[in-house]
Amino acid sequence: MSNVKSAERELSPEKTEVILRGAMQEFLEHGYAGARIDKIVAAAGVSKATVYRRFADKAALFTALIQRMAVKIHFFHQQELPPLGEEPVVFLKRYATQVLDHITHNSQELMLFRMIIGESGRFPELGQEFVRNIEKPNIDFLMQYFATHPKLQLADPEVAARTLVGTLIHFRTYALTN
Amino acid sequence: MSNVKSAERELSPEKTEVILRGAMQEFLEHGYAGARIDKIVAAAGVSKATVYRRFADKAALFTALIQRMAVKIHFFHQQELPPLGEEPVVFLKRYATQVLDHITHNSQELMLFRMIIGESGRFPELGQEFVRNIEKPNIDFLMQYFATHPKLQLADPEVAARTLVGTLIHFRTYALTN
DNA sequence: GTCTATACAAAGATAGAC
DNA sequence: GTCTATCTTTGTATAGAC
């Protein structure tokens, strides 16, 4: 006989939100092993018990956070495309510039990429998630773009797409420092 | 009046060697923050005091290890070049295959690349060291190769070299999982 | 110069009050 | 459902014997 509201009275979504926000800061700055639960709860303004009621342990909190970020970044990139009507050379230059600028002005995203790569040996599902959510959509888009623009004379659209995406990500996560 | 031998009686190089070997295992497997000094000394068969007599702290041990590995890998790659007399297309395919195979059969090197990228935000000098010792020599070599083979019709040898190296490293450290 | 034993701090996780 | 207080383990680093 409980009404609808009582059925919802479980874990408050607001607290979950602030926990994840605090966790993001701490994990991005120090990596998985370097992150401290104490710092996360301090930043979130909740107690440890509140964290451990939602997440089994540190690893569960970490993976939950990363998966959430993967989805957000995915949708973000989709909105950012430069106009498709331009000449291919112009479009591709803008596309590349935009990706690099985006990461450059979004230091959290740079830290995220680096962390994913660094932890992907110990959290394989995490690396796969990112391939699925971030790299794959970009590669698929470019593949189709290349395939529908024969004037570019690209023998293999998939190779071209993987090359461009790989070069851009690598250039920003490894070659440059800040 | 001390003879030459007594002047050398400082820290035994053999112990330094086994410490670094144990440290390599542990750091590569768990990253910087995840590595445990206890595990390192256990693997090396020495005491903690012996470690701390040589290295000021964990970070000093870490950076010393990475710099040593950077030098070793640098020299290793130099010896591996496929025959330069081949047709450019053949040579480049072999070069790429060899780099990928090398990392694939050298899981420690893969772990090292991932760790460098993951820690490069917190240890910037470490990322720079690797650019200098590993990426730069490869890029320089390819640049010169491209410049001396005009039939490849590459407008910008440096861009081509960076693209190839970046794509190869990224493909192996991020896109694939194992 | 190297070891054993230990200091000291901090971590992750939980019990019990409200 | 959330907090305070605490348990237990484990970490880095060092003091002192040999």
pLDDT digits (tens, 9 = 90+) for A138-157: 999 999 999 999 999 999 99
Chain A positions touching B173 (Cβ under 8 A) are 117, 120
Both tokens assigned to A8: 């919802």
Q: What are phi and psi of A83, to 5 degrees?
A: -60, 130
A149 secondary structure, DSSP code: -
- Residue B1: per-residue pLDDT: 42
**Chain A to chain B, count of Cβ pairs less than 8 Å apart?**
103
All residues at 6 or more sequence positions from A23 whose CB lies less than 8 Å from its CB, including other chains: A35, A40, A44, A61, A62, A65
What is the average pLDDT value for chain A, to the nearest integer?
A: 91
H helical segments located in B35-123: 37-44, 48-54, 58-78, 88-104, 107-119
| CA torsion angle A87 A91 A93 A96 (round to 10) | -160
- Residue A124: per-residue pLDDT: 94
pLDDT at A134 over 50: yes
Which 3 state secondary structure label does DSSP give B95? helix
Number of neighbours of residue B174 by Cβ within 10 angstroms: 24
Chain A positions touching B30 (Cβ under 8 A) are 33, 122
> Taken in order A126, A129, A133, A138, is the CA torsion positive or negative?
positive
- Residue B152: per-residue pLDDT: 95
Give which of A134, A24, A65 is closest to B170, Cα–Cα: A134
pLDDT at A86 over 70: yes
- Residue A9: per-residue pLDDT: 52
- Residue B178: per-residue pLDDT: 53
Amino acid code (one letter) for B89? V
Residue B21's Cβ-side half-sphere holds a number of Cα atoms within 13 Å equal to 11
Could you give the domains of chain A?
Answer: 1-54 (1.10.10.60), 67-175 (no CATH)
The CB-based long-range contact list for A38-46 (8 Å cut-off, 24+ gap) reads A44/A15, A44/A18, A44/A19, A45/A18, A46/A15, A46/A18, A46/A19
Distance from CA of B5 to the nearest CA of A (A): 44
- Residue A1: per-residue pLDDT: 43
From first to last of the 178 residues of chain B, give the pLDDT tens digit.
444 443 345 789 999 999 999 999 999 999 999 999 999 999 999 999 999 999 999 999 999 999 999 888 887 777 789 999 999 999 999 999 999 999 889 999 999 999 999 999 999 999 998 899 989 999 999 999 999 999 999 999 999 999 999 999 999 988 666 5
Residues B103 and B134: beta-carbon distance below 8 Å = no
Give the integer Cα–Cα distance in Å for A112 and A2. Answer: 43
Number of neighbours of residue A178 by Cβ within 10 angstroms: 8
Number of neighbours of residue B65 by Cβ within 10 angstroms: 22
Q: Quick one: average pLDDT of A96-125? A: 93
Contact B169 A171 (CB under 8 A): no
Both tokens assigned to B60: 């000093």
Q: Quick one: average pLDDT of A67-82? A: 85
Q: Distance from CA of residue B157 to its chain's centroid?
A: 25
Q: Which of B121, B128, B169 lies nearest to residue A111, judging by beta carbons?
A: B121
Amino acid code (one letter) for B46? V
Residues on A contacting B at a C-beta cutoff of 8 Å: 30-34, 110-111, 114-122, 124, 127-128, 130-131, 135, 162-163, 166-167, 169-171, 173-175, 177-178
- Residue B2: per-residue pLDDT: 41
Residue B151's Cβ-side half-sphere holds a number of Cα atoms within 13 Å equal to 3
Residues A43 and A69: beta-carbon distance below 8 Å = no
- Residue A178: per-residue pLDDT: 53
pLDDT at A39 over 90: yes
Predicted TM-score (pTM) of this structure: 0.92
Q: Quick one: average pLDDT of A106-124? A: 95
